[in-house]
Structure 1
Amino acid sequence: MHIHILGICGTFMGGVAALAREAGHTVTGCDAGVYPPMSDQLRALGIELIEGFGADQLALKPDVFVIGNVVSRARLPDGTPKFPLMEAILDAGAPYISGPQWLLENVLQGRHVLAVAGTHGKTTTTSMLAWILESAGLQPGFLVGGVPLNFGISARLGGPAPKGSERPLFVIEADEYDTAFFDKRSKFVHYRPRTAVLNNLEFDHADIFDDLPAIERQFHHLIRTVPPGGRVVFNGLEESLTRVLSQGCWSEQRSFGSAVSDFMAEGEPSNFEVLQHGQSVGRVEWALSGTHNQLNALAAIAAAEHVGVNPRDAAQALGRFQNVRRRMEVRGSVQREGGVITVYDDFAHHPTAIRTTVDGLRRQLDASGRASDRILAIFEPRSNTMKLGTMKNQLPWSLEKADLAFCHTGGLDWDARSALSPMGNRAQVSNSIEDIVHQVTQLAQPGDHLLCMSNGGFSGVHARLLDALGQPQAPR
């Protein structure tokens, strides 16, 4: 089968492309404004990438066009289609399908799917779960919205069904964002999991959801698809998830996080005991920081138990977990007289995720005896929700533990300077990457930690900072 993927460089669609290629299909695709790591991964797989969405690609005549949710029927100010290829597909009556639907029909059918949903931590928890199953010798397939460092790839088909099981295992990051312009259900409704992880839930995606109850409704649609022999793993600290479950659950439930949950943690996030029903069943010692990662670990352990992995073995496997690219990834450092300046890359973009990331780094510095080190938070409100300004007033709260903050506005329709005004002179704003780099390098001191946060490429700000500070970008 030849499939041509529109929006191929998105993290999800890039994973679909990798799986299709591994399954022996011919894969081509198109996108605009691509950036690593997905573009690098696709080129390494030998997948032909076409820049833009030109109608001339109809001449490729694939068996089916697979449509990413970046594609719409939108028109440019001059009235021409933003995605002329999609218009040509519709006009020609050519076959097309959404990415999640293609995945269900061609990969997930007949597998035990373990789906990880939640506003935050999906990529990391999915990677943890895949690594736990891999360490147990279960050879899971997976599709992750990032690149787990333990695997070096974002997706693979996986091996046969484990001994004693009828179904091969497949771990997938389950996104609540809509499927395609012609299918407004959440992506995860297509996945039909037997093990569903509900990591957390708060308001996000203001471009497609009116309010939190609208997202809760989609999460309950996911629960409705879990079979009676399945398991729903949920965060016992989240009132929103309690409301979701109260609408009905027909499967086994396992909670984590709260003092009365099935799975709890005791100790610091970098070194903690895992408790099941109050009894110690393992210990996690790793390089990760932050309470959020502690909760992610509990979720992964509870999900892995459903497919036969002993929690003690799961905890030991997490001790070898290397995190995910663009999750507190050190991009390089510069030696200065008096100390080192370190540059990080992180995917945080929602205010809660920004706060969690900054707090995690602060806690790590405090625990290592470096409480005097400064954190310089460099971020861009790039997600659709942040562009709308729905959560702009939460930004000072999210950056509370940062010593200085630098916001790249990039043509926002709302006043970032006003939104950040409660931070006083601790916050600077500019719509120019060059200005941001200049501001940061003028104020950076030995011992500083430059934390760059964006869900996009951020115009290569990491390399620019390292260059400006006097050190080429570290090899990746």
Structure 2
Amino acid sequence: MPQAIHFISIGGSTMHSLAVALQQQGYIVTGSDDNIYEPSQSRLKQHGLLPDNTGWFPEKIHSNLSAVIVGMHARKDNPELMRAIELDLPIYSYPEFIYQQSQQKQRVVIAGSHGKTTITAIILHTLKFHNRVFDYWIGDPIDGFDSTVKLTTGDNDSAAPVIIIEADEYASSPVDSRPKFLNYQPHIALISGIAWDHVNTYPTWEEYVDQFELLAEAMPKAGILIFDESDNMLDVIGQKEREDITKIPYVAHSSEIRNGLTSLVTKQGLKVPIQIFGEHNMKNITGAMTVCDRIGITEELFYKAIPSFKGLPYRLEKITGYDGQILYRDSAQSPAKVEATTAAVKHQHPDQKLLVVLELKAVSELNKPFLEEYKGTLDEADEALVYVDQQDLANSDQSDFVTPDRIRKIFDNKSIRLFTDVADLRNNLAQQQSPSTVLLVMSSEKSELMDWNSLINKDQHA
């Protein structure tokens, strides 16, 4: 008889993908949520998993369930969770469940403050390019994959021998405060750069770094730890006294830029054209290549796959501009990402003016101690505009703190201009549209600034 699994908070981006993946493996899947948004709603409906009604229903929790998987959206006092505890049912966060189902697989975990989604995506693209069999979990949809999760279970020949997991440092569930990546017990772990960019979760730099030290210390015997050699903190973690694990540092891949196009330069001097660019992406490529080498993909095979990797949405995503203008949008908002992204675009287009728009959120980025991390991050821009939504600002306790003079002082850049009205920002950008100007907008993916047609006044070009 098939095992029955219930999802508390089935509408989450990861939760609904895992629910679909398990249904496809033959499990009986049910779920609940108090709100379900797109695209989760349509995907759940397509697979017959959309709950009839929103809300929490303790009667859905019964003794015949094999497991209950609880998402972070649920509260500790969730009535379904309380009922599951009462019945003494096996309760898992999704990282715990993925580990339980992959104990017979080689587990590869990609962690770090930045670059982990891109590194994971490159590895998945390369494995698929060479028709390898593998399972995976990745945080964002990627080109060529119809889901963010694949989990084959059982001991049959169709079960994948390896799973590639993007793992972050956020809490695992309402009843498990451990960072997700501590659940997986990886055979191979890659930690990209560490930068303090989750100030709401980890109020101090020390607390944040501690999580990655725990991951390095928890590596099993004979494990492999791959880390960015150029990151000072990672160098400390990589040199932990663990003689029973293999430590492999990596650096940025050699590359060259010609006419706005980037190519990798191999050890043999060959040029391999690629579709992504920037120093941080050259590190991502080397990190992914190092992992691939450890799971059976040679450098030669890697170089055959990487030219067709298109990158990720909202990661230095190039948009077709009007009148020849080059436009990029990126989800970078933390200081390290802002600095790396700005530098990448400027180095890619050194002979053009770089106009940068950076949106800061009052709730997170405008934390006063955290703001000091932004010093110098926009220095590569020829002109920089900082936008803070006036409603967001009004709802915070930062309205008196955020002023044009203070923003210029924080970034240590006297030319930066502050905008709190999106209409004023649009008007300013409209006046600067030119084929000689490269526009880079850094904001959250759901921000209205990512709506290019609205932001750059497409109608006037009609």
TM-score between both structures, scaled by the size of structure 1: 0.79
1:178 aligns with 2:171: yes
Map of 1:67 onto structure 2: 70
Paired residue type of 1:470: D
Paired residue type of 1:395: Y
> Within 2, Cα distance between the matches of 1:132 and 1:159?
23
- 1:62-121 Cα shifts (integer Å, max 9, x gaps): 745433334445xxxxxxxxxx7x256326736543221122223x22111111111110
Map of 1:470 onto structure 2: 459
Determine if contact 2:193/2:231 at 8 Å carries over to the other structure.
yes
> Within 2, Cα distance between the matches of 1:436 and 1:470?
16
The counterpart of 1:253, out of the listed 242, 247, 258, is 247
> Within 2, Cα distance between the matches of 1:31 and 1:342?
42
Shift of 1:182: 2.1
Q: Per the alignment, do residues 48 and 284 of structure 1 end up closer, same or farther by CA in structure 2, a change over 3 Å counting?
A: farther
Map of 2:273 onto structure 1: 285
Map of 1:144 onto structure 2: 138
> What SS does structure 2 have at the residue aligned with 1:386?
coil
Map of 1:197 onto structure 2: 190
Q: Per the alignment, do residues 466 and 427 of structure 1 end up closer, same or farther by CA in structure 2, a change over 3 Å counting?
A: closer
Shift of 1:61: 3.8
The counterpart of 2:98, out of the listed 100, 103, 125, is 103
1:254-269 alignment, distance < 5 Å:
254-257=248-251, 265-268=253-256
Map of 2:339 onto structure 1: 355
1:24 aligns with 2:13: no
> Within 2, Cα distance between the matches of 1:31 and 1:450?
40
> Within 1, Cα distance between the matches of 2:215 and 2:53?
35
Q: Per the alignment, do residues 51 and 444 of structure 1 end up closer, same or farther by CA in structure 2, a change over 3 Å counting?
A: farther
Map of 2:263 onto structure 1: 271
> Within 2, Cα distance between the matches of 1:31 and 1:274?
52
Q: Which moved more, 1:114-123 or 1:92-101?
A: 92-101
1:221 aligns with 2:214: yes
Map of 1:120 onto structure 2: 114
> Within 1, Cα distance between the matches of 2:360 and 2:230?
29
- 1:108-152 Cα shifts (integer Å, max 9, x gaps): 221111111111100000011112222233222111111222435
Map of 1:420 onto structure 2: 407
Q: Per the alignment, do residues 201 and 41 of structure 1 end up closer, same or farther by CA in structure 2, a change over 3 Å counting?
A: farther
Paired residue type of 1:236: E
TM-score between both structures, scaled by the size of structure 2: 0.81
Shift of 1:297: 0.6
- Count of matched residue positions in the alignment of Structure 1 and Structure 2: 436
Q: Per the alignment, do residues 453 and 128 of structure 1 end up closer, same or farther by CA in structure 2, a change over 3 Å counting?
A: same
> Within 1, Cα distance between the matches of 2:199 and 2:149?
28
Shift of 1:379: 2.1
Determine if contact 1:148/1:322 at 8 Å carries over to the other structure.
no
Shift of 1:14: 4.7
> Within 1, Cα distance between the matches of 2:282 and 2:156?
28
Q: Per the alignment, do residues 244 and 15 of structure 1 end up closer, same or farther by CA in structure 2, a change over 3 Å counting?
A: farther
- 1:309-342 Cα shifts (integer Å, max 9, x gaps): 1122112211121112221224x5453xxx3345
- 1:34-65 Cα shifts (integer Å, max 9, x gaps): 466x666666656427897x44x445447454
Q: Per the alignment, do residues 374 and 242 of structure 1 end up closer, same or farther by CA in structure 2, a change over 3 Å counting?
A: closer
Determine if contact 2:10/2:31 at 8 Å carries over to the other structure.
no
The counterpart of 1:312, out of the listed 300, 303, 315, is 300
Identity of aligned residues (%): 18
Determine if contact 1:380/1:453 at 8 Å carries over to the other structure.
no
Shift of 1:452: 3.2
Map of 1:81 onto structure 2: none
Determine if contact 1:22/1:156 at 8 Å carries over to the other structure.
no
The counterpart of 1:90, out of the listed 77, 82, 92, is 82
- 1:415-471 Cα shifts (integer Å, max 9, x gaps): 3435422444532221x5555445544554455444333344114741552573328
Q: CA RMSD in A?
A: 3.6
> What SS does structure 2 have at the residue aligned with 1:232?
strand
> Within 2, Cα distance between the matches of 1:232 and 1:104?
19
Determine if contact 1:127/1:144 at 8 Å carries over to the other structure.
yes
Shift of 1:348: 1.2
